[in-house]
Amino acid sequence: MAKIVTGIDVGTYHVKVVIAEHTDNPREAPRILGTGYAESRGLKQGYIVSIPEVARSIGAATTQASRAARVKVKKAYLGLGGIGLEESTARGETVVERGDSEITERDIPRAIKNSEGALPPAATLNRKIIHTIPLRYYVDGGRVLGRSPVGMKGMRLAVETLFITCLERHVGDLVRAVEEAGIEVEDVVAAPLAASFVALTKMQKRVGCVLANIGSETLSIIVFEDTVPVSIKVFPVGSSDVTNDIALGLRISPEEAEQLKQGAVLGAPYPKRKIDDLINRRVSDMFKLVEAHLKKIGKDELLPAGIILTGGGSAIQTVEQLAKAVLRLPSRTATIEGTAAERMQLRDSSWAVAYGLTIWGFSEGGDLEPGDTSSISDSLRSSFKWLKKFLP
């Protein structure tokens, strides 16, 4: 039976909506039924400053997608971005439950729950945990080689867990805006994670890469290694800063500066060398922020698949070369996978988040498998089911 899923990406510049259809055959690619977009109003760097204005923008984009798909949108998956998105890592430990010391699936959620309890208070103050991702397991102090320790024997099980959090108020405001538009939110997903389902290949995730989404007012990155996301970060800079630099440097209007940033040639004799210098300086500064974060987590120059660029800012002509020069890594712009018709509907990689949300919905929206983690709390159920998507 076919299933229809809607993804809503609320960006600072545009709201994008994708409605897609998937059948029971997991080998079949999702078929895009309709897309819609509208200018974002009521947001600043991902923060909501006016819920009614955001609701109207969401409603306009959803109506456009609904007409194209000829379906009524009642529920949707929502992407969370903005500078309120953060990460925290903690380690938790538990005693193996069975008397014969064999580790079972019942032990893993307790260890993960203890790692959540080990988070510093500042990591959860006014924040909501969006994703819980087990990174590494240890049995009696020894690192487990492989994805799961189930079946091994030991006295104590430990786990290092990555927690992706967002400001609780921001999550609540965004959900409320979607609901005011007449749509029920089925799940919220970190926007960089949603984009990775579309913009990255299994090979890139396995060998190691960083996905950078250059938005209007934010630059978000997610780092993958061994098929699992190991870090996420959002910086308060974006492509609009490039536009502002050109406008100030050449003393022209922001509208003219935006056209110059996209490579347009206007009638006035603006020196190309100065335009390039203004663009290169700002974009290089943006990638230096990425470089500093990779150094912080010990991954600088250690990601064989390099950096993959997405978002509206990835259309800047010199962005690939600058990323390669600053990070000393392979660099390329993401491409939307799928049929020619689907690529035409999505137009460019700035639609990766909205399309990725529908893919999340196809794999996350169903019931739990019989007998699988039946005694786990709701939040941990979501974590385990989500983690399965990264298994080989």
> Which domains are delineated in the chain?
3-83+169-196+337-364 (3.30.420.40), 86-166+370-378 (3.30.1490.110), 202-333 (3.30.420.40)
Mean residue pLDDT across the chain:
85
Query: Residue 273 is inside which H or E element, if any?
Result: helix 272-296
Contact 218, 236 (CB under 8 A): yes
* Sheet order of strands, 127-139 included: 86-95, 156-167, 127-139, 142-143
pLDDT of residue 187: 92
Does 215 score more than 50 pLDDT?
yes
Low-confidence winner among 82-91, 112-121, 253-262, 300-309 (lowest mean pLDDT): 253-262
* Sheet order of strands, 219-225 included: 228-235, 219-225, 209-214, 307-310, 331-333
For residues 104 and 110, what is the distance between their CA atoms, to the nearest angstrom? 11
pLDDT of residue 22: 80
pLDDT of residue 377: 31
For residues 80 and 85, what is the distance between their CA atoms, to the nearest angstrom? 8
- Rounded average pLDDT over 349-372: 67
- CA atoms within 13 Å, Cβ hemisphere of 199: 33
* 272-315 per-position pLDDT tens digit: 888 889 999 999 999 999 999 999 999 988 999 999 999 888 88
Residue 173's pLDDT band (cuts 50, 70, 90) = very high
Does 321 score more than 90 pLDDT?
yes
Backbone torsions φ then ψ of 200, nearest 5 degrees = -115, 145
- Rounded average pLDDT over 325-338: 84
pLDDT of residue 265: 58
Helix (H, G, I), strand (E, B) or coil at 21: strand
* Cα 268 → chain centroid: 40
Beta bridge partners of 137: 159
